[in-house]
Structure 1
Amino acid sequence: MPLTPLDIHNKEFAKRLRGYDEDQVNEFLDQIIKDYELYIRENKELQSQIAALQERLDHFSNIEETLSKTIIVAQEAADEVRSNSKKEAQLILKEAEKNADRIINESLTKSRKVALEIEELKKQASIYRTRFRTLVEAQLELLGNDQWDSLDSGDDRK
């Protein structure tokens, strides 16, 4: 058990013949008491500072741990968002490719249908042209027929 200033103050020494000067010993003991009390006070202050610093260190250690966990969670969330974004982009790309294929197929189908309609219209136009030519030729033949001449001369007689 460590000495206290009171232990030093109450310490009594046996007296002997030709011993030390009692006043000098008491003065020296008083000086020791003052220094010892000072050291005890400084020690308590240092212990208090150490406790406060340890408390702050623990606080900052907790903050560091929390920040580390937060960073890890944020990194995991960022990785998950990145992964989900890639998956979503792939889905969008596949959907766009499907839509593009569908549009191309629809366009090809419409193009073929229009080409068939054009061919049909060309055939109909050719048939119409042939029929019209035949009709015109028949009409010209009728006009070139001698029967018209007889009709024409018969009107003069009247």
Structure 2
Amino acid sequence: MPLTPADVHNVAFKKPPLGQRGFDEEEVDAFLDEVEQELVRLIEENNELRAQLERGGGGRLDPGPDRWLDAELDEVRNQLDRAQRDRAAAEQAARSAQMELERARSQGAMASGADSEQVARVLMMAQRTADDHLGDARREADGVLADARTRADDLTNEARASADTLERDARQRHQEAMGGLDAKRTATLRHIEELQQFERQYRGRLTAYIESQLRDHGGGEREAISGGRTGETALDI
């Protein structure tokens, strides 16, 4: 099942077992891995949408928003890497403080008399140091994870908005292209109709002219023939 912003926002880490300090390492690592996989999936999905729109949109899209989104995703990856390193360093510091505390307790068990008060102070300082390290580690980890959740939500929303915008622009370009083709088709059909009408009119006028010429030419010949016959009759008389 793909990771959703709600899953990232509502994730809750379990308390570590008794005697251990910090967050459960396996659970935190699994969460960070899921976030990284989801970001990779978003990049691949965005690239696929871009390729589909280029194939169907008739032109290359502006790569600016994609470059910005890729840069943001890289920044989140770097932030997650820093969170892992900081968490490991904080847990190491907490373990070191815990070891110091255990050694101090062991020494306190062997101490007696005047040394007991000093050992108690050392134990108190060691406990306070360990608590401070753990508190700092928890606050830092909480801050980094909260920021990662926010950035993941923002990037997911940006990716979806970018995909919606690209799809809407592609549909608009498609509609404009189809509208242009329809307009050209209508204009071409109108021009063909005008040419056909002109052809019919031209043929009609040409036919009428030829017929009138034939009538005029035929009338002249008939008059000439009639005149010739009259002359022949007069000579006979």
1:131–1:26: structure 2 CA closer, same or farther, 3 Å change rule? farther
SS at match of 1:69: helix
For each residue in 1:65-121, what CA deviation from the matched residue of structure 2 results, as whole angstroms up to 9, or x when unmatched?
A: 011112112222222222333333333333332222222111111111111122223
Runs of 5+ unmatched residues, structure 1: 1-20, 146-158
1:11 is matched with which residue?
none
Whether 2:213 is the aligned partner of 1:116: answer no
Partner Cα distance (1:126, 1:120) in 2: 10
Partner Cα distance (1:132, 1:56) in 2: 112
The offset of 1:32, in angstroms, is 5.0
The aligned amino acid for 1:68 is T
The aligned amino acid for 2:162 is A
Whether 2:167 is the aligned partner of 1:87: answer no
Partner Cα distance (1:39, 1:62) in 2: 34
Partner Cα distance (1:132, 1:67) in 2: 97
Where relative contact order (Cα < 8 A, 6+ residues apart) is larger, the structure is: 2
For each residue in 1:102-153, what CA deviation from the matched residue of structure 2 results, as whole angstroms up to 9, or x when unmatched?
A: 2211111111111112222322333444456668x58xx6xxx8xxxxxxxx
Runs of 5+ unmatched residues, structure 2: 1-109, 232-237
Whether 2:161 is the aligned partner of 1:73: answer yes
- Please say which structure displays the higher CA radius of gyration: 1
Whether 2:148 is the aligned partner of 1:60: answer yes
1:49 is matched with which residue?
137
The offset of 1:58, in angstroms, is 1.1
2:191 is matched with which residue?
103
Number of residue pairs matched?
120
Partner Cα distance (2:153, 2:119) in 1: 50
Partner Cα distance (1:33, 1:133) in 2: 148
The aligned amino acid for 2:180 is I
The aligned amino acid for 1:76 is D
The aligned amino acid for 1:49 is A
The offset of 1:35, in angstroms, is 4.4
Partner Cα distance (1:111, 1:92) in 2: 28
Mapping for residues 135-154 of structure 1, pairs under 5 Å:
none
1:29–1:106: structure 2 CA closer, same or farther, 3 Å change rule? same
